[in-house]
Chains A and B, each alone.
Chain A
């Protein structure tokens, strides 16, 4: 019994080293391991290392929030699709903005046969979500090029910023679309589509107008509404695709080539 404090200290030390995460200090802590940081850029590097083909095939899915069982099933379904270069997560990775949720989703998504990229959703901006998202995934607005495509990821969760006129960042989007000298397919990906009530109504026309007036924009990708939708909602030549939530067990399989694309709705 005399050695009890010593024994306890020893057990404590062993537990600390053996089980990462066994001690938690606050639900809103922002603690990630090295292999859980800056994942978007790391995965862009992986994607750009994949040898180019004439067509680029990728998956659009989203809203994993508190649907871990279904997301796990999604990974199995996605891995059965042929020639998928990467998966795009359209946001609402977490439900409560907790680091723990981001870790769980990443743990599932790394079982994909290909890299995945994310765009931030409104639920990811709750509580310490912004800090957690930026730690694990990186900047909220970013872009990259692969083959004949330029992918532009942008934060459109205006309500989380009390519709302050700065989200989405129209100027940034404009400069990203303008910086496309080779006229690649410009594919804008965001969580909330411009016709949704959570998108800043004062920026809706500017945003949809930017896409409509760019001849390289043929289609654009979203999540948020937990249902499949697609159509030319502004009759301006831009086709909007919304993917459903993981809870509804569905996603889009998209194939692009120079000057064209195909979208298939998959349910699993």
Chain B
């Protein structure tokens, strides 16, 4: 039962967004999401997905993703919410409907649920005993994407696939203090995903 609820939480944004897409025409309400994303890996879940917005000049995307890592794949079942923003300054048209956004730079802040994680140091520790929060993680990544313009039900839409090479705060500080033993590749991991714009 818990698994079903979690899956619903994970995919609810997809269903609601799909509905919205069909209901509106050219005069879209400003608060409706501009796209949905589904991502694999990237330290915010085995799979994560959710709605997001893009700036008017189509370079800055901001997403709210709900991620889930099943026990089977992760050794522990973990639910994560992530606020993520990606800047992709260049879009290069390729052929008629395709384009490449060769470079993206982004940041995220994630929150993982669980009684073993805390945001404020519990009172049984002296002040400053552990300096970091275990529930929140912040990370950064670079990446790129390829996209295709689609026309569907008389609306211009787009489908993009993206990859991201990222790391997060605790790995970065580990690397910075151990540049002799650790290599940059030791702290970098890969994420891939799709973005459906509408």
A61 → B minimal CB distance (Å): 16
Cα A159 to Cα B130 in complex, Å, equals 12
With A15-B190, A23-B40, A127-B134 as known contacts, state yes or no: A108 contacts B171, CB within 8 Å: no
User: What are the residues of chain A within 8 A of B44 when measuring CB–CB?
Assistant: 26
User: What are the residues of chain B within 8 A of A72 when measuring CB–CB?
Assistant: 180-181
User: What are the residues of chain A within 8 A of B146 when measuring CB–CB?
Assistant: 4
Name the CB-closest residue of A to B188.
A22
Whether B45 and A26, one on each chain, are in contact in the complex, defined by CB atoms closer than 8 angstroms, is yes
Cα A54 to Cα B63 in complex, Å, equals 66
B177 within 8 A of partner (CB)? yes
Name the CB-closest residue of B to A96.
B170
Cα A47 to Cα B191 in complex, Å, equals 41
A135 within 8 A of partner (CB)? yes
Name the CB-closest residue of A to B190.
A22
Cα A126 to Cα B135 in complex, Å, equals 11
Interface residues on B, range: 35 or more
B18 within 8 A of partner (CB)? no
Cα A98 to Cα B73 in complex, Å, equals 16
B119 within 8 A of partner (CB)? no
User: What are the residues of chain B within 8 A of A163 when measuring CB–CB?
Assistant: 124
User: What are the residues of chain B within 8 A of A1 when measuring CB–CB?
Assistant: 94-95, 98
CB < 8 Å neighbour of B134 from A12, A23, A29, A126 = A126
B43 within 8 A of partner (CB)? yes
Cα A131 to Cα B173 in complex, Å, equals 23
Residues of B84-117 at the interface with A, using a CB-CB cut-off of 8 Å, are 94-95, 98, 112, 114, 116-117
Which of A63-71, A112-120, A222-230 forms contacts with chain B?
A63-71
Name the CB-closest residue of A to B48.
A25
A18 → B minimal CB distance (Å): 11
Whether B69 and A29, one on each chain, are in contact in the complex, defined by CB atoms closer than 8 angstroms, is yes
B-contact 0/1 string along A96-107, CB 8 Å cutoff: 111111001000
A73 → B minimal CB distance (Å): 9
> Chain A's interface: helix, strand, loop or mixed, by majority?
loop
State the interface size on chain A (CB cutoff 8 A): 42
B163 → A minimal CB distance (Å): 8
B-contact 0/1 string along A1-16, CB 8 Å cutoff: 1001100100010010
Name the CB-closest residue of A to B171.
A100
CB < 8 Å neighbour of A101 from B112, B134, B174 = B174
A14 → B minimal CB distance (Å): 12
CB < 8 Å neighbour of B116 from A27, A71, A128, A162 = A128
User: What are the residues of chain B within 8 A of A253 when measuring CB–CB?
Assistant: none
Give A residues with C-beta under 8 Å from B.
1, 4-5, 8, 12, 15, 21-32, 66-69, 71-72, 95-101, 104, 108, 126-128, 130-131, 135, 159, 162-163
Give B residues with C-beta under 8 Å from A.
40-46, 67, 69, 73-76, 78, 80, 94-95, 98, 112, 114, 116-117, 122, 124-125, 130, 132, 134, 137, 146, 161, 168, 170-171, 173-174, 177-182, 186, 189-192
Task: Give 6 CB contacts A-B under 8 Å.
Answer: A8-B161, A27-B43, A30-B74, A69-B178, A127-B117, A128-B116
Q: Which 10 A/B pairs are nearest by Cβ-Cβ distance?
A: A30-B75, A23-B41, A68-B178, A69-B180, A127-B134, A24-B189, A68-B181, A29-B74, A25-B69, A25-B46
